[in-house]
C-alpha cells in the first residue's frame, strides 16, 4: 500500500494564508490589542434585527418551508429584483431597468465566492491580473494559487494611479504580453487595506483604459465594492461598475458582510452577459446555490427597512472609531509627519500607516516583535503587495490598521503602544 496523497496543482499551490498566523496570535494571546483582524464591530452586530427577520420567516409555514428548501444557483429571484432595484436607485439618472438587471445578478456565498468564481472563470496559470498596490491580500493568495502573474499598480490619495496603469498596459503591449492580461482588480470603495477610494474622476477613465487596451480580448475590471455603503457621510460617487454602460467589461462584487453581518455570508455580483453563464456553471459545481434561508433573511431585513437602519448605525460607529484612530495618530506621532504618515479614511474599516523605509514592518522583523512586547499588532503591509509592482518598489515599511473590532479605548491604547515602538525605531 502506498499512503502518499498526491495533490492537484491547485492543492499544491493552496498554501497557508499569511493571515492565519495572525489569527492564531490573536486567539492565543488575548491580552494583545489586535489592530490586525479585518472583522466588523462586534457590539453592533444586528442581533435584534436578525431575530425578528428569522421569526417573520418562521411564522409562516409556507415561507419557512420555502426558505428551508434548496433554491436556484443564481439566487432567489425576489431578492435579486430587490438588489437590482437598490442598484438602480444608487444612480437614478442611468435609468436601469431593475427587471433586466436582476437577470444579470447572481447571489453568492459572500463576495469572496464571487472573486473566486471570476478567477476560476478567467484566469489560467501564466495569465496576468493587475491590481492596486497595496490590495486585498486574500485575493492575492487566491491568484497565486491559480498560478496567475500579478502586477501591482501604485496608488495615491485617489486610489489606483491611472498613469501607472496606462504605462503598465503599454509596456505589456510592447512586450507582446497584452494577450495574457485578463483582469484589472480594484477595491474601489474605502479599500482594504488602504482605506482610500478610487476617485470619482478616475472611474470612467479606468473603464475607458480597459476598453482601449482590449485589443486581443476583453480586459475585464473586477470592481470589488465590499465596503460600499460605509461612507461616513453617506455620500458615495457612482460606482465604477455604473460607468460601464454597455455592461460588458465591469464585474461588480458586493456583500452584506460589512454592512450587515459576515455570519450571514451573502454577497452578490452583476456580471457581463458573456461571463454570467460560465460563472453560474462553476457555482453549480461549488454549491448550486447559496443558502436559501440566509437569502430570505437578507430579503426580510431589506423589505422592512431594518437593513438601511443598520447601515446608518454602522456609519456613525465607524466614523467615531476612524476619528479616534486618526486623532490618536496625530497626538502620538503628529510631530513625526511626514516621515510617519497615514491615510484618512472617509469610510470603511482601515487606515494605512507608513513609517520610514528603514523600519521593516515584516512579520519576522524586530519591529513586529517589539510591537508584540508592547502588546499590540497589525497586518504587515508587505502581505498586501504583489511580487511585481509597476514602476515602484514592493514596500515593507507599512501597516494595515483595522479599527473594526477594538473599542475606542482599545484603539487609543493600541495606537499609543504602536507609536512608542515607532519612536524607538525611528532614526
Ligand atoms: C476587499 C474585500 N473583498 C471581499 C471580501 C470578502 O468578504 P465576504 O466574502 O464576507 O463578502 C472582503 C472581506 O474582508 C474584503 O475585504
- In the chain the domains, ranked by start, together with CATH numbers, are 9-45+309-425 (3.90.1150.10), 70-306 (3.40.640.10)
Give the residue-averaged pLDDT of 278-305: 97
CA distance linking residue 82 with residue 141, whole number of Å:
33
Site of grid cell 483604459:
209
Helix axes 292-303, 306-333, angle to 10 degrees: 90
Residue 194 has pLDDT above 80, yes or no: yes
Residue 427 has pLDDT above 80, yes or no: no
Residue 368 has a CB neighbour count (10 Å cut-off) of: 18
CA distance linking residue 256 with residue 89, whole number of Å:
17
pLDDT recorded at residue 254: 98
Residue 299, burial from CB neighbour count under 10 angstroms (0-12, 13-18, 19+) = buried
Give the residue-averaged pLDDT of 284-295: 97
Please say whether the beta carbons of 251 and 335 come within 8 A. Answer: no
CA distance linking residue 103 with residue 77, whole number of Å:
9
pLDDT recorded at residue 23: 86
CA distance linking residue 110 with residue 193, whole number of Å:
18
- DSSP readout, 136-165? -HHHHHHHHHTT-EEEEEEEETTEE-HHHH
Give how far Cα 259 sits from Cα of 130, 159, 262, 295, Å.
27, 22, 9, 15
Q: What is the pLDDT of residues 28-77, one digit of tens each?
A: 999 999 999 889 999 999 999 999 999 999 999 999 999 999 999 999 99
Q: What angle do CA 10, 120, 37 make, to 5 degrees?
A: 75
Cα of 112 vs centre of ligand 1, distance in Å, is 6
pLDDT recorded at residue 134: 96
User: Which of 255, 259, 348 is the pocket-test mutation for ligand 1 (most atoms within 8 Å of CB)?
Assistant: 255
Ligand 1 atom index nearest CA of 112: 9
Cα of 185 vs centre of ligand 1, distance in Å, is 13
User: Which of 111, 143, 295 is the pocket-test mutation for ligand 1 (most atoms within 8 Å of CB)?
Assistant: 111
Cα of 38 vs centre of ligand 1, distance in Å, is 9
pLDDT recorded at residue 16: 81
Please say whether the beta carbons of 380 and 372 come within 8 A. Answer: no
Cα of 400 vs centre of ligand 1, distance in Å, is 15
Where residue 3 falls among pLDDT bands split at 50, 70, 90?
confident
Residue 18 has pLDDT above 80, yes or no: no
Higher pLDDT among residues 228 and 27, named by residue: 228
Where residue 333 falls among pLDDT bands split at 50, 70, 90?
very high
Q: Whose CA is nearest to atom 8 of ligand 1?
A: 110
| % pLDDT > 90, the chain | 89
Pocket lined around ligand 1, Cβ cut-off 6 Å:
38, 110-112, 136, 187, 192, 224, 226, 255, 257, 262, 265, 267
pLDDT recorded at residue 376: 97
User: Which of 108, 114, 138 is the pocket-test mutation for ligand 1 (most atoms within 8 Å of CB)?
Assistant: 138
What is the reported pTM? 0.96
Cα of 172 vs centre of ligand 1, distance in Å, is 29
Give the residue-averaged pLDDT of 295-308: 97
Cα of 253 vs centre of ligand 1, distance in Å, is 9
pLDDT recorded at residue 117: 98
Cα of 382 vs centre of ligand 1, distance in Å, is 19
Ligand 1 atom index nearest CA of 256: 11
Tell me the pLDDT of the chain averaged across its residues: 95
Give the residue-averaged pLDDT of 165-186: 97
Q: Nearest-CA neighbor of 425 among 339, 325, 324, 329?
A: 339
Residue 392 has pLDDT above 80, yes or no: no
Residue 6, burial from CB neighbour count under 10 angstroms (0-12, 13-18, 19+) = exposed
SS3 30: coil
DSSP alpha helix (H) spans, 96-199: 98-104, 110-122, 137-145, 162-174
Residue 202 has pLDDT above 90, yes or no: yes
Contacts of 62 (CB under 8 A, 6+ apart): none
Cα of 6 vs centre of ligand 1, distance in Å, is 31
Q: Whose CA is nearest to atom 3 of ligand 1?
A: 226
pLDDT recorded at residue 262: 96
SS3 74: coil
Give the residue-averaged pLDDT of 325-340: 97
The cell for 46 is 444586528
CA distance linking residue 54 with residue 61, whole number of Å:
12
CA distance linking residue 83 with residue 310, whole number of Å:
17
Give the residue-averaged pLDDT of 370-391: 92
Residue 79 has pLDDT above 80, yes or no: yes
CA distance linking residue 140 with residue 23, whole number of Å:
18
pLDDT recorded at residue 191: 98
pLDDT recorded at residue 394: 72
Give the residue-averaged pLDDT of 153-163: 96
pLDDT recorded at residue 2: 86
Site of grid cell 512608542:
420
Cα of 12 vs centre of ligand 1, distance in Å, is 24
pLDDT recorded at residue 395: 78
Residue 390 has pLDDT above 80, yes or no: no
Amino acid at each position: 500500500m502506498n499512503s502518499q496523497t498526491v495533490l492537484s496543482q491547485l492543492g499544491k499551490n493552496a498554501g497557508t494564508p499569511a493571515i492565519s498566523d495572525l489569527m492564531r496570535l490573536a486567539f492565543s494571546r488575548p491580552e494583545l490589542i489586535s489592530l490586525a483582524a479585518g472583522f466588523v464591530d462586534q457590539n453592533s452586530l444586528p442581533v435584534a434585527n436578525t431575530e425578528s427577520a428569522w421569526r417573520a420567516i418562521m411564522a409562516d409555514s409556507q415561507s419557512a418551508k420555502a426558505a428551508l428548501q434548496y433554491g436556484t444557483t443564481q439566487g432567489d429571484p425576489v431578492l435579486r429584483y430587490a438588489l437590482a432595484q437598490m442598484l438602480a436607485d444608487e444612480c437614478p439618472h442611468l435609468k436601469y431597468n431593475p427587471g433586466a438587471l436582476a437577470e444579470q445578478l447572481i447571489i453568492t456565498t459572500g463576495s469572496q465566492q464571487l472573486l473566486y468564481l471570476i478567477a476560476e472563470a478567467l484566469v489560467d496559470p501564466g495569465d496576468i491580473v493587475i491590481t492596486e498596490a497595496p490590495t486585498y491580500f486574500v485575493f492575492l493568495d487566491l491568484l497565486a494559487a491559480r498560478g496567475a502573474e500579478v502586477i501591482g499598480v501604485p496608488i495615491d490619495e485617489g486610489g489606483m494611479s491611472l498613469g501607472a496603469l496606462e504605462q503598465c498596459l503599454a509596456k505589456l503591449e510592447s512586450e507582446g504580453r497584452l494577450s495574457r492580461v485578463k483582469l484589472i482588480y480594484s477595491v474601489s470603495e474605502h479599500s482594504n487595506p488602504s482605506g482610500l477610494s478610487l476617485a470619482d474622476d478616475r472611474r470612467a477613465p479606468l473603464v475607458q483604459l480597459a476598453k482601449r487596451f482590449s485589443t486581443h480580448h476583453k480586459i475585464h475590471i473586477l470592481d470589488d465594492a465590499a465596503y460600499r455603503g460605509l461612507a461616513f457621510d453617506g455620500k458615495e460617487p457612482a460606482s465604477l461598475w455604473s460607468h460601464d454602460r454597455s455592461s460588458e467589461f465591469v464585474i461588480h462584487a458586493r456583500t452584506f458582510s460589512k454592512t450587515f453581518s459576515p455570519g450571514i455570508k451573502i454577497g452578490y455580483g452583476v456580471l457581463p452577459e458573456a461571463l454570467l453563464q460560465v460563472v453560474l456553471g462553476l457555482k453549480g459545481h461549488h454549491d448550486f446555490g447559496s443558502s436559501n434561508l440566509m437569502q430570505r433573511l437578507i430579503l426580510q431585513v431589506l423589505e422592512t427597512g431594518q437593513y438601511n437602519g443598520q447601515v446608518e448605525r454602522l456609519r456613525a460607529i465607524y466614523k467615531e472609531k476612524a476619528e479616534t484612530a486618526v486623532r490618536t495618530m496625530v497626538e502620538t506621532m503628529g510631530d513625526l509627519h511626514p516621515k510617519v504618515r497615514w491615510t484618512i479614511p472617509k469610510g470603511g474599516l482601515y487606515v494605512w500607516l507608513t513609517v520610514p523605509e528603514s523600519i521593516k514592518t515584516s512579520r519576522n522583523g524586530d519591529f513586529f516583535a517589539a510591537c508584540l512586547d508592547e502588546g499590540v499588532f497589525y497586518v504587515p503591509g508587505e502581505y498586501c503587495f504583489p511580487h511585481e509592482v509597476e514602476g515602484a518598489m514592493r514596500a515593507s515599511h507599512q501597516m494595515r490598521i483595522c479599527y473594526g473590532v477594538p473599542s475606542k479605548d482599545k484603539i487609543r491604547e493600541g495606537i499609543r503602544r504602536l507609536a512608542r515602538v515607532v519612536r524607538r525605531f525611528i532614526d
